[in-house]
Amino acid sequence: MRKTWKEPIRSYAVITVACVLFALSFSIFYRPNDIAFGGVTGIAQMVNRLLGFPTVGVIIILINIPLFLLGWKFLGKKMFFGSLYAMFIGSVCLDLFSEWMVVPSLEEPLVACVFGGVFTGAAMGLLCREGASMGGTEIVARLLRIIDPSRSIGQILMVIDLIVICLVALVFKQLNSALLGIIALFVSTSVLDKVLFGANPSKVAYIISNQAEPMAAAIISELGRGVTMLNGAGAWTKEEKTVLLCAFKKRQIVDLKRKIQEIDPNAFLIVCEAYEVLGYGFGPHEEIKTKQKAVKKDEQGKIATKS
């Protein structure tokens, strides 16, 4: 019963923190240093600059209305309400901080775009982890990811935001602002993916070799990584092959290549990016984490009872 009411409170608290962080990043780093912003916020910047009204926060809400209707239809009720809350809090904070905070521009705009990208990416990553969004391009990115799951949310956002930043450069006729915005965009999307998938990236190797068994044994004993043997066959030769599947930490790539070269110089190796690896040696699933906490709590209770 506790989990029923605690989880939504925790989720909305994280969403609130993320929205405040996003608004602070925009007000401290982007706006004073004339750094072009992507997405709906960038479009709102253009409209506000051209018309002089309404405020950026109000424009964001108006643009997001049709996008939220799409979000309701395709992405479900949970995201709709979480994102609606995030959009409202984020838009209000943007207008309040813009009104109250007077932040001077930095002597080095590059510093502003890097730190702005870091904090913005962290905010968007926290929102995505809670299944929410401030609307705009994040909802569009989630919808596009349904069509093409191979692309990460950060990659899709980068393409959309690049288009908006280019439009900002055309409207404002400020190439420098657009270039700084592109740098900030690369930083923010990188941080977003790190928040979503972890800061310690892993890779996956597919190894096709006639020395599959000794190679698997060496990887297990010397690199400390598990190996899965898959049955395969050459399409041209029809010869049966054993394919080794191995997930490993990025820093182990040199040791893995060296070991493969020692055992079978003719081995065929494919290394792929793995956004997230869960399991023994990497990171436990949420269910495993819950069980571990329950066991630990139970053990502490037994110790307290004995004492």
Q: Are 253 and 212 in contact (CB under 8 A)?
A: no
Do 226 and 171 belong together in one domain?
Answer: no
Measured CA to CA, the distance from residue 208 to residue 266 in angstroms comes to 9
Do 247 and 156 belong together in one domain?
Answer: no
Residue 1: is its pLDDT beyond 50? no
Last residue of a domain, one of 133, 167, 197: 197
First-to-last C-alpha distance (Å) of the chain: 30
Whole-model pTM? Answer: 0.64
Q: Are 135 and 64 in contact (CB under 8 A)?
A: yes
Which of 12-16, 163-167, 217-221, 261-265 is predicted with the least confidence, judged by mean pLDDT?
163-167
Beta-strand (E) ranges in 209-239? 228-233
Q: Summarize pLDDT for 36-58 with one digit per residue, the tens.
A: 777 787 788 778 777 777 777 78
Indicate which CATH number applies to the domain containing 219. Answer: 3.30.70.120
Residue 228: is its pLDDT beyond 50? yes
For residue 106, give its domain range.
2-197
What mean pLDDT, rounded, does the chain reach? 76
Last residue of a domain, one of 197, 218, 236: 197
Do 252 and 138 belong together in one domain?
Answer: no
Q: Are 105 and 33 in contact (CB under 8 A)?
A: yes
Do 212 and 81 belong together in one domain?
Answer: no
Q: Are 84 and 15 in contact (CB under 8 A)?
A: no
Measured CA to CA, the distance from residue 240 to residue 242 in angstroms comes to 7
Q: Which amino acid is at 12?
A: Y
Q: What angle do CA 189, 194, 196 make, to 5 degrees?
A: 95
| Bond from prior residue into 54 cis (ω within 30 degrees of 0) | yes
Do 50 and 118 belong together in one domain?
Answer: yes
Q: What is the pLDDT of residue 93?
A: 85
How many domains does the chain contain in total? 2
Q: Summarize pLDDT for 271-307 with one digit per residue, the tens.
A: 887 766 666 665 555 444 444 444 444 444 444 444 4
Q: What average pLDDT does the segment 208-235 reach?
A: 85
Helix (H), strand (E), coil (C) string for 110-176: HHHHHHHHHHHHHHHHHHHHCCCCCCCHHHHHHHHHHHCCCCCHHHHHHHHHHHHHHHHHHHHCCHH
Look at 215 and 297; give whichever has higher pLDDT: 215
Residue 106 lies in a domain: yes
Residue 129: is its pLDDT beyond 60? yes
Taking each continuous run of H as one helix and of E as one strand, the counts in the chain are 11, 4
Q: What is the pLDDT of residue 288?
A: 44
Do 43 and 123 belong together in one domain?
Answer: yes
Do 34 and 182 belong together in one domain?
Answer: yes
Do 155 and 53 belong together in one domain?
Answer: yes
Residue 196: is its pLDDT beyond 50? yes
- How are the residues of the chain apportioned to helix, strand and coil, as percentages rounded to the nearest 5? 70, 10, 20
Q: What is the pLDDT of residue 197?
A: 66
Residue 296 lies in a domain: no
Q: What is the pLDDT of residue 276?
A: 64
Residue 147: is its pLDDT beyond 70? yes
Do 152 and 15 belong together in one domain?
Answer: yes
Residue 20: is its pLDDT beyond 80? yes
Do 117 and 29 belong together in one domain?
Answer: yes
Residue 70: is its pLDDT beyond 80? no
Look at 288 and 173; give whichever has higher pLDDT: 173
Last residue of a domain, one of 152, 176, 197: 197
Q: What average pLDDT does the segment 262-273 reach?
A: 85
Do 48 and 175 belong together in one domain?
Answer: yes
Do 122 and 221 belong together in one domain?
Answer: no
Q: What average pLDDT does the segment 20-32 reach?
A: 85
Residue 179: is its pLDDT beyond 70? yes
Q: What average pLDDT does the segment 120-134 reach?
A: 82
Q: Are 146 and 6 in contact (CB under 8 A)?
A: no
For residue 180, what pLDDT band results from cuts at 50, 70 and 90?
confident
Look at 216 and 283; give whichever has higher pLDDT: 216
CA 278, distance to chain mean position in Å, is 16
Q: Are 134 and 39 in contact (CB under 8 A)?
A: no
Residue 156: is its pLDDT beyond 70? yes
CA 233, distance to chain mean position in Å, is 37
Beta-strand (E) ranges in the chain? 202-208, 228-233, 240-249, 268-274
DSSP-derived 3-state class of residue 103? coil
